[in-house]
Amino acid sequence: MTRGALAYATGAAILLLAGASRAAETGPPALRWGGDAEGGAPFVEADPADPSKLRGFDVEIANLVARKLGRTPAFVQVAFQSLDQSAARGDFDLGLSGIEDTPSRRAALAVTVPYYEFREVLTVRVADSGQFHRLADLRGRRVGTLAGTIAWDALAAAAKTDGVVPVSYDDDVHPYEDLAKGRLDAVLLDHVLAARSVRRVAGLATQPETIATGRYVAILGKENAALRDRIDAILLDAMRDGTLKRIFEEWKVWDEDQAAFEEKIETEISPPPSSPSKKIFSSSSLSLVVSYLPSLLKASLVTITLSCLAMALAVVLGVCIASGRVYGNAAVRAVLTVYVEVTRGTPVLLQLFVLYYGLSSVVRLPAFVAALLGLGLNYAAYESEIYRGALEAVPKGQLEAARTLGLTEGQVLRLVRGPQAFRLALAPMTNDFVALLKDSSLVSVVTVVELTKQTAIFATNIASWAVPGALCAALYLAMSLPLARLARRLEGRWRAAST
């Protein structure tokens, strides 16, 4: 190839690349839509045949909206409990994942017209289907549901009027599994979820009575009202031309109630809220904040009780493990070293799951006991390393002097080595207790409603984390600061005694 031909070919290649780049830049813009694919069927889930793809009726609605808008759908994974906050932050353009239509959500976000009406129904074991028909039949019984939902509000109200015991879950899979295993007496959730779970878990039956009704909507940031209005038009057109019906029929969630809902929805729709938007924190919201204070204080009591008991267990086990590693034979030291490394090397969240769900076929631990054991066993590994280091930091000369005076090894540990080691370990022990206090927020995954979980429920109900988050932080500080002050006083007293 001559120099001139080479220059011509190079120039042509550059032009082609530039053209391709311009074509990419002028392609359809993305419609970022958020949802939770974790256990999200039939709303949003990974396709079992190809996990890189999504399926579900909300996936098809998102694709429909994107197509009508001339945009390309791009999925953004967001935890269900965080969808509202992510929409407000602008993490995505459109949120779809079985999101319920609530007054607080409409006050905080731009919400589309409802596109599906669901019923809250009770699911019970088949053997109990003749006994439990309504919430009033479940006095003193444990009823599970998702926190921060219409069903949770119904259970909270029934706890006062009918004496039911609400149990909070983070997903819609474990409540039905726990019901089948006897940990729950009933589950209250959307009929869409109930129908799917009854097919999946044997021995369950759904009662026909409707406890409450609700509607699914899509959400956008408050500033996206114009886009919301365009999506409203697309959803209404899809109802009129039967597109939504075909989607719901494909996912087996279409019924006569849904047909009646689509007939009446247009007459119910009020004009878009171009009128002044409602303030998130109105006087009624402030009264709601006050009404939640007793629940937050009760959850704080759960947090501090659980943390103290778990720390006590961790200290006792930690002392035993540290003593075994210092004084035990080779076999004992090897076993204890394996325990410490395995426990420290795996997440406490995983350990909680294994204790509560993984071992349920062998032993069905109550949720609080599983949380106590999970935190106590995990922190025992860390405490043991602190105590082992403190024991080995005591000068050997002191130990030899004690033995020379005729003290036994037990007396040396109890009277000489132990007190000095404990003084050295006090500061890191205090630090660990504060860390455990905060890690106790993880136990909500095994249905224990502690302070952080109760705060999340609170924040969902008022569609804001500002006030609930500040209250939660203040309560954690109120619990941890006195502990740190007490530890400093003990350190100072022992330091003065030793000088």
What is the average per-residue pLDDT within 445-470? 80
Q: Do 457 and 148 contact (CB within 8 A), yes or no? A: yes
How far is the C-alpha of 487 from the C-alpha of 430, rounded, in Å? 7
When pLDDT is cut at 50, 70 and 90, the band that residue 139 belongs to is very high
Tell how far CA 336 is from the center of its chain.
Answer: 33
In tens, the pLDDT along 373-427 reads 999 999 999 999 999 999 999 998 988 898 888 888 888 888 899 888 988 898 8
DSSP bridge pairs for 205: 124
Q: How far apart are CA 15 and CA 1, in angstroms?
A: 20
Asked if pLDDT for residue 497 goes beyond 80, the answer is no
**pLDDT mean across residues, the chain:** 85
pLDDT score recorded for residue 58: 93
- What are the φ/ψ torsions at residue 421 (nearest 5 degrees)? -65, -40
pLDDT band at 463 (very low <50, low <70, confident <90, very high): low
Looking at residue 498, what is its pLDDT?
Answer: 58
pLDDT of residue 242: 92
Torsion angle of the four alpha carbons 450, 451, 456, 458, in this order, in degrees rounded to the nearest 10: 110
Within the chain, how many helices (H) and strands (E) appear? Answer: 19, 12
Measured CA to CA, the distance from residue 463 to residue 88 in angstroms comes to 10
Tell me the residue length of the chain: 499
Per-residue pLDDT, averaged over 34-62, amounts to 83
CB 306 within 8 A of CB 371: yes
pTM for the structure as a whole: 0.71
Contacts of 439 (CB under 8 A, 6+ apart): 348, 375
Contact 137, 131 (CB under 8 A): yes
Lowest-pLDDT range of 64-73, 229-238, 271-280: 271-280
Binned at pLDDT 50, 70 and 90, residue 272 comes out as: very low
pLDDT value of residue 120 = 95
pLDDT computed for residue 494 by the predictor: 67
**What CA–CA distance (Å, rounded) separates 460 from 193?**
20
The strand pairing partners of 212, in sequence order, are 120
Return the percentage of the chain with pLDDT > 90, whole number: 48
Residue range 23-36: mean pLDDT, rounded: 76
Q: What is the structure's pLDDT at 276?
A: 42
Is the predicted pLDDT of residue 23 greater than 60, yes or no?
no
